[in-house]
Chain A
């Protein structure tokens, strides 16, 4: 059902102009205070009767993507002076400078045939007098949102030097019903909250979905058999399978970075320990053997280490061990209790949930436990998951006595926002960028 027919090619930079004394525009997203870049995104030019409404909808989605990132301030179209009739000539720089636009996105939508559109786009540096990026993308019409997200990703990359994350999806648990009889259903949506669909019909309790690092597959926990078991599901086909037939319960699945191994917690006689499960050989290997609770494992992006949560020392703390279960080292030493760690795809940071003084926080620390920083605070924040580029975190927030929802926050602690879901939602897992 996923049609990945997008073809992208760089235009030859048709008009490379001499840079007139201005530094190249670039955004440093690591700073904790950011002045959003003022970006002009006019409606795209439509070519062919069927180019509408995509010539308006696509720039609108790009605008919303960039605004949500907190790094951009899309400008009001009513203030625009120039209306480009072609995107193949330079814009009139001055008419964009007077409205203080720093960058301009111009585009054209061409109806290729009844089913297909081609979208061309150019990104201009208004003060550098030059084109920063250009691309042509083609897709079936009903896949138009992905074109918009692909362009958003290109703009983000051109201006920050980092990979984008807009063309990605989020799997989560949709909730409804009273708290004592909550119904929970696996759901998936685009990163911007569009195209929300349920993945399973909803008679069994499901929890903690996790995305495969590169494919449209997930692991999750289901009570289909009456107790918690880890299941795998191929999102494109809907096929799912229970992972093995183990004694006891299995929880907390997490894929290895190469996608070949699944970490999970196996609970036998009340004792929770971390295991790795080789998805091709179907071999299960015990990695921890403590009598306390060991759970919520997460691989480092190089696959060499695992961070997990353990109560072996008497309180809930984070520990790192090798992928073979050796060299266990405690890394959390602050006050409070630490659970649900998630290793950043960039490798340098570990996000976690911390409870202290009756409040819950999402925080980040360096992989060695140093430089702890709390990003959020509420009655109940939990379960961080990283954007594919390691710059944004999603997590569940449940206000006291209220409905839970999914929130996003930047690695720097800025730009806290609620992610639009159809109803109450929890347990987000951010998938890889689509191909």
Chain B
């Protein structure tokens, strides 16, 4: 079913591409002559491409498979599985809330899905403090989802502190990525 749906999308894409071509006035394919050798080429002249006669044929749709609706991949692509936090912060940013609303709506579509929310911190803190901070971040995600009418018994939280960075570097960019709440679907998916 999903393959069929995909094909429709792809065909639509091809049709649009063709449509874009069709807006140009039809003209005969012509062969451009090479410039006469004796003529000194102007230094600013654009390169002249030689093309042969063109033939239009339909390209088969790509063999790429999209995520199965209701699968973990579908959740990651359609909702997003991570929200990010400021340094030493556990409050949700507007962008984080947007991701969590998408997560909530996905979870409402698939009421069998059960999740674990992992809280993560960047490396610039002591181990035990970061475990506590990660727990607060996971809880912030959970509370928001509860507020979006997701049943608390579908969710559990765990803190990893600074133990599971997604970016192993010690840079601002890496720290920003490593301060996150990660929503992992553990069961009830259409995998």
A interface vs B, CB < 8 Å?
A: 178-180, 182, 184, 205, 207-208, 226-228, 249, 251-252, 265, 267, 269-272, 293-296, 309, 316, 339-340, 353, 355, 358, 360, 379-380, 382-383, 398, 400-401, 426-427
Contact = CB atoms under 8 A, between A and B. Distances in A.
B165 A339 contact: no
A398 B122 CA distance: 13
B126 A353 contact: yes
A358 B125 CA distance: 10
By secondary structure, the B interface counts as: mixed
B129 A309 contact: yes
Interface of B: 90, 116, 123-129, 131-133, 135-136, 138-140, 142-143, 156-159, 161, 163-170
Given A179-B165, A180-B164, A227-B158, A295 B139 contact: no
B126 to A, nearest CB: 4
Contacts of A340: 126-129
Contacts of A252: 128, 131
B146 to A, nearest CB: 11
26 contacts: A178-B168, A179-B165, A180-B164, A180-B165, A208-B128, A226-B116, A227-B158, A249-B158, A251-B128, A251-B132, A252-B128, A270-B135, A270-B138, A272-B135, A293-B129, A293-B133, A295-B131, A296-B128, A309-B128, A316-B129, A339-B128, A340-B128, A355-B125, A382-B126, A383-B126, A426-B127
B21 to A, nearest CB: 46
Which 6 A/B pairs are nearest by Cβ-Cβ distance? A270-B139, A179-B168, A272-B132, A293-B132, A339-B126, A340-B126
Contacts, number: 98
A380 B124 contact: yes
Most buried by A among B90, B133, B138, B167: B133
Contacts of A309: 126, 128-129
A43 B119 CA distance: 57
B129 A296 contact: yes
Nearest to A402: B170
A401 B165 CA distance: 13
A339 B131 CA distance: 13
A383 B169 contact: no
Given A270-B138, A271-B136, 9 more contacts: A178-B168, A207-B127, A207-B161, A249-B158, A270-B143, A272-B136, A295-B128, A339-B129, A382-B127
A138 B77 CA distance: 69
B129 A249 contact: no
Contacts of A339: 125-126, 128-129
Contact of A383 (B116, B127, B163): B127
Given A249-B158, A270-B139, A379 B126 contact: no
B124 A355 contact: yes
Nearest to B140: A270
Nearest to A352: B126
Contact of A270 (B123, B128, B136, B164): B136
